[in-house]
Amino acid sequence: MDFNSDFCFFCDYTHNLDEKGRLALPSGLREELGRSERPELVFAKATGASETSEAYLTLYPYEHWRKLVAAMEASITDTDRRNAALRAFTKDGRQLNLDKAGRVLISPEQRVAAGLGREVRILGLGSKIQIWDVAGHERKEAQDKAVLDEVTETLGLNF
């Protein structure tokens, strides 16, 4: 399955959720989503905190989410295992619609699962967008920098 994405999200913004849990996506992200066959639709998956990671929310354009689900369906031949994997993967996933103001409503359940407070960090990571609580992301940044340093040294990259 081809996971190459036609989307290229690269950004780092800090925004606030409003009192209803809506998040206004920055215009650059909305423009990139506008290239989607369903620009008003994204899929959100909450990732809870673990021993090795902070919690966050990932937004996928319609096409990318569809590719992920199709890959699981195609690559797992055992029906019981395939269904179990799909249930686990889609369990915390939600369809989010962008309103005319470019906002998405993040449900209370997803805000809790992703550890989101009022102030959030929006990060474009190529084919997907991550939304972090600001404090959680600040704790993760030093680890991310260390991984980047290791990877660039290993690959001999200079930038």
Residue range(s) defining the domain that contains residue 119: 9-133
How many folded domains does the chain comprise?
Answer: 1
Tell whether 66 is covered by a domain.
yes
Tens digit of pLDDT at every position of the chain (159 positions): 455 567 788 889 999 999 999 999 998 888 888 887 787 778 888 887 776 678 999 998 888 888 889 999 999 999 999 999 999 888 878 889 999 899 999 999 999 989 999 999 999 988 889 999 999 898 888 888 888 889 999 998 877
Please name the residue that has the structure tokens 């960090």.
121
Tell me the C-alpha distance between 22 and 29, whole Å: 16
Rounded Cα distance between 124 and 130, Å, is: 6
Structure tokens at 36: 């989607």
Task: Look at residue 120 and tell me if it is in a domain.
Answer: yes
CATH number assigned to the domain comprising residue 107? 3.40.1550.20
Query: What was the pLDDT predicted at 127?
Result: 85
> 41 in a domain, yes or no?
yes
Structure tokens at 67: 């590719």
d(CA 67, CA 13): 27
Interatomic CA distance for residues 13 and 137, integer angstroms: 12
